[in-house]
Structure 1
Amino acid sequence: MFRTPVLRVLATAAAAVTLLLFTRPAPADPLHTAPVASTTRQIAVPTAPMGWASWNSFAAKIDYSVIKAQVDAFVASGLPAAGYKYINIDEGWWQGTRDSAGNITVDTSEWPGGMSAIADYIHSKGLKAGIYTDAGANGCGYYYPTGRPAAANTGSEGHYDQDMLQFSQWGFDFVKVDWCGGDAEGLDAATAYKAISASVAKATASTGRALTLSICNWGYQNTWNWATGLAPMWRTSTDIYYYGGTASQASVLSNFDQTLHPAAQHTGYYNDPDMLTVGMSGLTAAQNRTHMALWAISGAPLLAGNDLTTMTSETAAILKNSDVVAVDQDARGLQGVKVAEDTTGLQVYGKVLSGTGNRAVVLLNRTSSAQNITVRWSDLGLTSASATVRDLWAQSNLGSYGTSYTASVPAGGSVMLKVSGGTEAASTNYTATSTGKYTSVSAASTGLDVVDIPYTNTGSTAVTGTLQVNSQTATTVSFPPTGSSQGTVSVQVDLSKGSANSLTFTGSSLPTLGAINVQPIPGTNGNLVVGTGSGRCADIYNNTITNGTQAEIWDCNGGQNQAWTYTSRKELVVYGNKCLDAYNNGTTNGTKVVIWDCNGQNNQKWTANSDGTLTNVNAGLCLDASGAATANGTLLILYTCGTANNQKWTLT
């Protein structure tokens, strides 16, 4: 967990723009096979962990009796039957002592029989046990004591192999590794967690007990760029709840917005927006349902944080709703994304589910009045043919609808639906031009596509390979066993408009791959903003999502950090929720152009002019590649409008 706000390092990246909106019909390419429906023999991937964790309700004030009472209430509530299986002991179990050999020791007056005894009790109920440490030398309890005196040496730095083996020998199945010490020491997160991941693998090999690693560095250093393949889950934001306060919908929405990195989440690897606050003081029943719906549509780990001994039947029903849990635990393992926001604050999120023609949908109303919100089948990658719509909270079918469905959504509320039996829009197959390499992949518009990857893995364990799309950050893809016949796993990739996209799979254990199937999600359509002078694209450096990150120009690659939606409100939106912004309402030459949460102000509005310039509505100045430079990393600023090519852009 994370205790106090910390200023994150601002990064930048950058450049290229177009002045028209585009729809995204299925690509046609005579060099490849004709459009076909998405493949159907999908291999189930490991689903996101579900369970309960102690931090939100108890902070560091935990012992054997506290955890035992929660285990008993967990079982009595019926949560295991709904799919919840982990009981995770968070900070406070260890006060930093080690024996002469460096092994962790604990206070047996608080933990009779040691930590193995509580793990045994959890296992006796048919559940899995989780434990906690820090990547640094000192854990969060040292820097931010909560419920116990500050204790030094509560981190695992210098003892990664030893501690992970100890946890496994005690019988733990899950380990959350926090970042308070790592952050304070200025450690490189990717390096530290790579070492921890290797230690987890060694411990598993030694004891035969699988140990699920939870990376908890709050999204610092852009975890989504490097965590896939190191752990099944990684935090994407700071804490959703601070002990002693109250849960809030603002925190729920903020953490949800920060967790949408769909290209990183696939094949058993998950973005983690933090533990649930469902059932905690501060949220209404409707807000609890919205919270649960957003975690489910994003495919997030579901770790309840409420006190189970006082849980109401209403809260239990929300956590256990089988239709909603099924969306979260869908065997295809993809993340839902925003597919429409026709009016500010009226948002539609869609998730591609396993099978054919199936989508989960959340209609989210962030405004202060009840509004009708429409989900269009075309935005979801379906044709206009009729599909069945189901209300997931009511667990009842609403009927068959063609083209779209509209619901009235309360102020600040949501509606969660499943669209099933629809017809998949056209997609295209591509055969490899060389081993693992697929070239001339077409996209009618810049945006997100689902890629089904056929393969055969006759072994008993998953194997991995590396996927690189264009020159974007590479990701690790897992290929579970298929048996003797071919199956598919799915990823979501960002493609640029045109036919110059490439997907390259590499790896020593990479299985033989078949013809991939590529299908757009038209609701994610955007534009590259291409500089006339540089030929480079407006880009946010290293997929950074932090407010205040200055935009720059970079080689065009079609990544999520280069896909801009030019809205009817004159906004240029990236990541679905960040607007290109003249910093601090600046109106002078040299004002930084940054990303910021969209807020409707004129410093976030841009007029696309016929000469290719983009004028900031508030300042009356033009988007400018600083100093007329054309190199990667050139910063974007506002400057007096002129005729130079460093102020001319094409949205494409």
Structure 2
Amino acid sequence: MFHNPARRWTRRITAQVLAVGLAVLGLASLDRQEPSVPLSAEPAAVSTSQIGVTPPPMGWASWNSFFSSIDHNVIKQQADALVSSGMAAAGYKYVNLDDGWWQGQRDANGNIVVDEKLWPGGMKAIADYIHSKGLKAGIYTDAGKQGCGYYFPTTRPAAPNTGMEGHYQQDLETFQRWGFDYVKLDFCGGRVEGLNQETTYKAISAANEAASAVTGRKLVLSYCEWGTGLPWNWATGYGDLWRTSDDVLFFKETPGLTKMYRNFDQALQPAAQHTGYYNDPDMLMVGLNGMTAARNRLHMSLWSIAGAPLLAGNNVATMSTETRDILTNPEVLAINQDPRGLQGVKVAEDTRNLQVYGKVLSGTGKRAVMLFNRTGSAANITVRWADLGLTSASATVRNAWTRTGAGSFATSYTTSVPANDAVLLTVSGTEASGTTVEDTATATTPTFGNVTATSAGTKLVDITYANGGSTARKATIQVNGQFKYVVSFPPTGSATTYRTVSVLAHLAKGTNAVNFAAVSGSPAPDIDALRVQAIPGTDGAALVGSPSKRCVDIDKNTYVNATQAQIWDCSGGRNQAFTKTSRGELVVYGNKCLDADNNGTTNGTKVIIWDCTGGTNQKWTVNSNGTITNNLSGLCLDASNAATANGTKLILWTCNGQNNQKWTLT
């Protein structure tokens, strides 16, 4: 195990911060005072040289077309087709075996035994074949004793003991020795057994590291517990991608818009997605029966603006030219695979269900934009440059699907979007100004205690750092009292070469503390400065209780309908930032409305979150006396029992002028 390599700086502070020093020499065991260097050698306060991060995985997975009916011939056929169709050249590299490859037998030593009638030469043979095509190989297991095929059999009988519980390191070593590069870790057995998601998956991550120390290989870890354990709060740096929702398609189910939209919405957890770690809304349905060309393009637009993994699920060997062209459109894939590695966020919804999403791309002044019409009629949708964090100067617009330019436009761009469809654009404009904060401490992983924001909302944060090692280093980032996220810092070439990686962070209005800390087992990067820029379309306000000085809060960043709102220490998190719309709603996460439960109009009615419906029970009036009344009942937003402690639930109650019904929008 490495300890945190201490890299000490001698700093001299003038009217401008002047940082000097040398970085650690690649040996984590050295703990030394580095000499100061001449002022001329000091790095710029903020680097503008962005470094590319690992993009979301692209490939093919067996489940949506073949379910449990997979064998050596099926996988060879699909691998061959990925190459011959041009999909591999477009970036689809993984060939992932899902549930059904193993029938649950182990030998006396607990090693997996496979059916060699299905897999001649065993699993190493199929991994070798996949690699021979220039592709990467993925495999499947479950965190519990049983896999999903045991509880939900499809095309083969239920096979017991197909999970990895009790064999974590053993199975991961086995997968690595077979030559696999990727493993999907399901949770059907884990759910039945009542395993804790975070504890279980972190144990699997540790087992993967231990297995790698033995074999010299490492597996990409894909967590699949469907968002039930809120993995966006803890999975970064432990898993490489994690499911955020239930399956987008069940066995024998016809693909539909409802689940597609749901999975897209639930995947939008922007603070968790960065530097090679990705929210996963599930495998693609593009090219499946029931999917039209327009719906295929919509599906790809949604997954691309979200920066989601792209794992095709169609039969590649029999797909149409039209499907192939949709899956391989280079400008759409470039949005998905952008080297900055960030997620798109909703920046406007002027009219209910006419939505605008913006994704910060690599470079300067570059954005991807999705105009999303969730209604049943064609409508004009406008994107404003200011909402994206650009100036109002003229910007160039290009349609990603048609691969044609739309022209240059000042301030904004408007176009018609068909019903239940999207227009996917790239915009090249002028970056708005940001705020620079320099590290003045001696620590390599400092706390920036004076990061200011003029409004609550999601901000673009570029982190200037150096990593003179040969592999990525890790550190955690924590804003105020929010969850910690592991950030990966790729090598920069030397200890005095400074580059940037980017994250999206949720800041409170006013002063924020952004704290970096070393990660056990990883040398620390040298973090030097931050550049913080607003994405104004995400701005909201905190609802602060008068006696408690605590904020209206949705517990643990959950998005589950019917979650009751509470008060909690103000941290600036996305779960505490509400947008007051022109329709009178108080919207959190961009798509959940503060709601009087079950249209309640009596004292004690729970105040919950729910999908925004336009109902009167989701409309609120902010009054000049500090109260907030529900438009359906006329009752006041109330901290129950006049309590002021963290976790106090919110209800509706007859307005009585007491302080537990007084709120300030900040």
TM bucket normalised to smaller = over 0.9
3-state SS of 1:534 partner: coil
> Aligned AA for 1:47?
P
1:626 maps to 2:640: yes
User: Is structure 2 residue 355 aligned with structure 1 residue 347?
Assistant: yes
Aligned partners of 1:367 and 1:242: how far apart in 2?
A: 25
Residues 565 and 607 in structure 2, CA contact (< 8 A), matched pair in contact too: yes
Residue number in structure 2 paired with 1:483: 493
- Conserved in 2, the CA contact under 8 Å of 1:57 and 1:243? no
- Which contiguous aligned blocks of 4+ residues in structure 1 show a shift greater than 6 angstroms? 30-33
Contact 1:338 1:523 in 2 (8 A): yes
| Contact 1:37 1:427 survives alignment (8 Å) | no
Match status 1:493 vs 2:505: yes
TM-score in terms of structure 2 length = 0.91
Q: What is the letter of the counterpart of residue 637 of structure 1?
A: I
CA RMSD of aligned residues (A): 1.5
What is the distance in 2 between the residues matched to 1:311 and 1:204?
Answer: 37
Do residues 426 (structure 1) and 440 (structure 2) align? no
In 2, Cα distance between equivalents of 1:601 and 1:610: 24
Contact 1:259 1:271 in 2 (8 A): yes
- Select the structure with the greater relative contact order (CA < 8 A; seq sep ≥ 6): 1
Residue aligning to 1:24: none
**Following superposition of structure 1 onto structure 2, how do residues 161-176 of structure 1 map, counting pairs within 5 Å?**
161-176=169-184
Other structure's SS at 1:255 match? helix
8 A Cα contact 1:626 1:635, kept in partner: yes
Cα shift at 1:232: 1.1
Query: Mean Cα displacement is larger for which, 428-437 or 381-390?
Result: 428-437
Q: CA deviation at 1:203?
A: 2.5
1:105 and 2:110 are equivalent in the alignment: no
**1:456 matched to 2:475:** no
CA distance in structure 2 between the aligned counterparts of 1:38 and 1:396, rounded to whole angstroms: 35
Answering whether residue 130 of structure 2 is matched by residue 119 of structure 1, we say: no
Contact 2:346-2:358 within 8 A present in 1 as well: yes
Query: Partner of 2:144 in structure 1?
Result: 136
SS in 2 for 1:414: strand
SS at match of 1:515: strand
Which residue of 568, 591, 602 corresponds with 1:577?
591
| SS of structure 1 residue aligned to 2:617 | helix
Matched, 1:278 2:289: no
In structure 2, the partner of 1:194 is 202
Summarize the Cα distance change of 1:32–1:562 in structure 2 as closer, same or farther, 3 Å threshold.
Answer: farther
- Alignment of 1:505 with 2:516, yes or no, is yes
Alpha-carbon distance, 1:31 to partner: 9.6
Match of 2:333 in 1: 325
Report percent identity of matched pairs.
64
Q: In structure 2, the residue corresponding to 1:464 is in which secondary structure?
A: strand
Q: Which of 605, 613, 617 pairs up with 1:599?
A: 613
Name the counterpart of 1:146. Answer: 154
Find out whether 1:440 has 2:450 as its counterpart: yes
Counterpart mapping for 1:535-546 below 5 A: 535-546=549-560
Which position in structure 1 is the counterpart of 2:267?
Answer: 259
Counterpart-to-counterpart distance in 1, 2:527 and 2:172: 35
CA distance in 2, matches of 1:88, 1:518: 39
Letter of the 1:425 counterpart: A
| Residue 321 of structure 2 corresponds to residue 313 of structure 1 | yes
How far is 1:532 from its partner? 0.9
SS at match of 1:315: helix
- CA drift of 1:32 comes to 9.0
**Corresponding position of 1:474:** 484
| Greater Cα shift, 232-241 or 67-76 | 67-76
- Structure 1 distance, partners of 2:570, 2:329, is 43
Q: Distance in 2 between matches of 1:450 and 1:94?
A: 44
- Counterpart of 2:389 in structure 1 is 381
Displacement of 1:579: 0.4
Q: Secondary structure at the match of 1:325?
A: helix
How far apart, CA to CA, are the structure 1 residues paired with 2:362 and 2:174?
A: 38
- Residue 62 of structure 1 pairs with residue 48 of structure 2: no
Q: Distance in 1 between matches of 2:537 and 2:188?
A: 38
Q: Which amino acid aligns with 1:599?
A: T
Would you say the 8 A contact 2:594–2:609 is kept in 1?
yes
CA contact 1:38–1:519 (8 Å) conserved in 2 = no
CA deviation map 1:188-231 (0-9, x unaligned): 11111111111222222322223111011100110100100101
After TM superposition, give the deviation of residue 68 of structure 1 in Å: 1.4
Aligned to 1:9: none
Q: Which residue of 2 aligns with 1:567?
A: 581
Deviations 1:295-349 (A, max 9, x none): 1111110000011122111111111000010111111101100000000000000
Q: Secondary structure at the match of 1:92?
A: coil
Amino acid at match of 2:512: N
Secondary structure of residue in 2 paired with 1:514: strand
Q: 2:45 touches 2:438 (CA, 8 Å); kept in 1?
A: no
Q: Distance in 2 between matches of 1:623 and 1:192?
A: 39
Inter-partner Cα distance in structure 1 for 2:439 and 2:560: 37
* Deviates further, 424-433 or 378-387: 424-433
Query: Structure 1 residues 445, 31: closer, same or farther in 2, change over 3 A?
Result: farther
Residues in 2 aligned to 1:58 and 1:602: alpha-carbon distance in whole angstroms:
46
CA distance in 2, matches of 1:337, 1:540: 19
Structure 1 CA distance, aligned partners of 2:340 and 2:317? Answer: 34
- Residue number in structure 1 paired with 2:539: 525
1:40, 1:356 within 8 Å by CA — same for their partners in 2?
no
Are the structure 2 counterparts of residues 604 and 190 from structure 1 closer, same or farther at C-alpha, using a change threshold of 3 Å? same
Q: Where do 1:211-226 residues align within 5 Å? A: 211-226=219-234
Within 2, Cα distance between the matches of 1:39 and 1:384? 25
Q: Could you tell me how far apart the structure 1 residues matched to 2:353 and 2:439 are?
A: 42
Give how far 1:563 is off: 0.6
Quick check: 1:32–1:430 contact (8 Å CA) kept in 2? no
Q: Summarize deviations over 1:477-498 as a string: whole Å, max 9, x none.
A: 1110000211010111000111
- Offset of 1:37 from its aligned partner? 12
Distance (whole Å) between structure 1 residues aligned to residue 338 and residue 48 of structure 2: 14
The answer as to whether partners of 2:550 and 2:567 remain within 8 angstroms in 1 is yes
Q: Which residue of 2 aligns with 1:50?
A: 58
Query: CA shift at 1:396, angstroms?
Result: 1.1
Aligned length: 619
Q: Contact (CA 8 Å) 2:436, 2:530: kept in 1 or not?
A: yes
Q: What aligned pairs does 1:602-621 form with structure 2 within 5 A after superposition?
A: 602-621=616-635
1-structure distance, mates of 2:246, 2:480: 31
Pick the aligned partner of 1:370 from 360, 363, 378.
378
Amino acid in the other structure paired with 1:390: R
Give the distance between the partners of 1:591 and 1:415, measured in 2 at CA.
41
CA contact (8 A) 2:263 2:282 kept: yes
The amino acid that maps onto 2:144 is G
Q: Distance in 2 between matches of 1:549 and 1:622?
A: 19
Distance in 1 (CA, whole Å) between partners of 2:609 and 2:314 is: 35
Q: Which runs of 5+ in 2 are unaligned?
A: 1-14, 19-43
- Counterpart-to-counterpart distance in 1, 2:626 and 2:447: 36
User: One-letter code of the match for 2:104?
Assistant: G
CA contact (8 A) 2:146 2:188 kept: yes
Q: Read off the aligned partner of 2:408 and give its amino acid letter.
A: S
* Alignment equivalent of 1:356, drawn from 360, 364, 368: 364
> How far did residue 282 of structure 1 move?
2.1
1:365-391 Cα distance to aligned partner (Å, 9 max, x none) = 011111110111000000011121110
**Deviations 1:120-159 (CA, angstroms, capped at 9, x unpaired):** 1111100000000000011111111111111111100000
Partner SS state of residue 547, structure 2: coil
Question: Aligned partner of 2:505: which letter?
Answer: V
Contact in 2 for aligned 1:377/1:404 (Cα 8 Å) = yes
* Cα-to-partner distance string for 1:402-434 (whole Å, 9 max, x where unaligned): 1111110001111000001x1111101011243
SS state at 1:330 partner: coil
